[in-house]
Amino acid sequence: MELFKLEHKKLWRKNSTRVCVLLCFFYCVIFGSVLVYQWLTFGSRKDYGTGSRDFDGYENIKDCQTYFHKYGELTDETLQEWVRDYQRLHKMVVEEERTQGVKNKEILKQYQNSGWETVNSMLKKLYPELERQDMLTAMVMSCYVEPEKLTGIYERREQAIETFLDISGQTGAERDYLLRINEKVKTPFSWKWVEGWSNILGNAVSGLGTAIALFLAIVLSSLFAGEWHDNTSPLLLTTKNGWRKLACAKVFTGLVFTLELFALTAAGMIGSQLVFLGTEGWDMPIQTVKMIAIAPMNMLQAEIYEYAFTLLGAWGFAGVSMLFSARCKNHVLALLLSLAVVYVPMAVHNRVPAALGKAFDLLPLVGSGADVFRTNTFHLFRHYIWSPYLLIWVPLVIGILCMPSAVRGWSRRMRR
């Protein structure tokens, strides 16, 4: 334990470590969370038809949440009511724009905060026959669809899932397997403001691993190889603890640092989420974000999964990065190899065969926690396995398998 404390203190004394932690916190928490909530994504639009936003995200988010309080559950009746409300607001905004420009800020704000992007996506997916081709460039589907025709929403959801599986070529036993998972989804859905959770699960948490990988690679690539760079290997050979104990202490240090970096970043993101969004909507099923999702999860469960996916993937990546550091005397080469494990598969993911793309997803921090919204599967030992079951554990196993090799590899170099 004393040796670990010394290695841990040594790692945190490095300027590169402190700079990486600060940059990671700033990018993920300040820029990726606080500014997104307060300005970049959820600030109110300054005027109709532009993308510029005001620095009033907190108030705007509360208004968005309040707008949906009257609906409660997603049913045929509440969906029809929403469409009528939206069409009324749209008509008022268009009329004002035609005559004198949009002057009534309250109407404009309600119109912008109505969650039309998510609902319009829902309508296009579930009621494709009601979409008019001559209106595609003029207005969104919610503006012209007849509310009375929006019936049988949950039956249509089931049909949409089956159609999607057929188009995706997921038939036979695979189709039956996925539909059995979908049977656990309970209806009717509670229905509150969705966009905030959509950003959390689709962008913020699911993209956290990609950002953490960069800073972990910079710090951990020098954990072993840095000893050669600093020319301290002869001194290490004279220590009373021996090279194997020292190597184990370094591995443990790398794992603890990974946990610390993740915990600091996640705590900042969750804190800003609670300040801006609160806990409202945590019990909504993820199907309110993507109607053809099959996972029987609510928003909170999906968020916990994505954070767990990131932490376990980060530990797996730490194991891989420490292996390269132990095997390479040049810490720059170890850094490049570590980064290549994550970013090269991401760069070529859409240019390789589908089977190879699935294999890439099993590498640490390459896949995505957002797979809970998808129907991807792996076919192993004549059985189908839904991808989130493997994506959360395989990267950790890869990292664990790399750690003994890192210890042995560095030990052999030290004995030479």
Convert the pLDDT of each residue in 293-312 to its tens digit. Answer: 999 999 999 999 999 999 99
- What are 13-31's pLDDT values in tens digits? 999 999 999 999 999 999 9
Tell me which residue has tokens 């042995």: 408
- What are 328-362's pLDDT values in tens digits? 888 899 999 999 999 999 999 989 999 999 999 99
Model confidence at 402: pLDDT above 80: yes
Query: What is the mean pLDDT of the segment spanning 105-119?
Result: 88
How far is C-alpha 239 from the chain's CA centre?
44
Cα separation, 59 vs 157, in Å, equals 34
* pLDDT at residue 95 in the model: 81
Q: What is the pTM of this model?
A: 0.95
Alpha helices (H) along 68-200: 76-99, 105-112, 116-126, 153-167, 172-182, 195-199
* pLDDT at residue 103 in the model: 59
Alpha helices (H) along 230-298: 233-236, 242-276
Model confidence at 365: pLDDT above 60: yes
* Average pLDDT value for the chain: 92
- What are 184-243's pLDDT values in tens digits? 999 999 999 999 999 999 999 999 999 999 999 999 999 998 776 665 554 454 455 567
- What are 52-110's pLDDT values in tens digits? 899 999 999 999 999 999 999 999 999 999 999 999 999 988 887 777 665 577 888 88
- Exposure of 136 by Cβ count < 10 A (0-12 exposed, 13-18 middle, 19+ buried)? exposed
- What are 147-197's pLDDT values in tens digits? 999 999 999 999 999 999 999 999 999 999 999 999 999 999 999 999 999
Cα separation, 267 vs 160, in Å, equals 38
Cα separation, 84 vs 158, in Å, equals 25
* pLDDT at residue 105 in the model: 74
Exposure on the CB side of residue 313, measured as CA atoms within 13 A: 30
Model confidence at 276: pLDDT above 70: yes
- Higher-scoring residue by pLDDT: 266, 231: 266
Residues paired with residue 74 on neighbouring β-strands, in sequence order = 189
Query: What is the mean pLDDT of the segment spanning 36-49?
Result: 86
For residue 1, name the pLDDT band (cuts at 50, 70, 90).
confident
For residue 45, name the pLDDT band (cuts at 50, 70, 90).
confident
**Burial profile 2-14: b = 16 or more Cβ within 10 angstroms, e = fewer:** ebbeebbeebeee
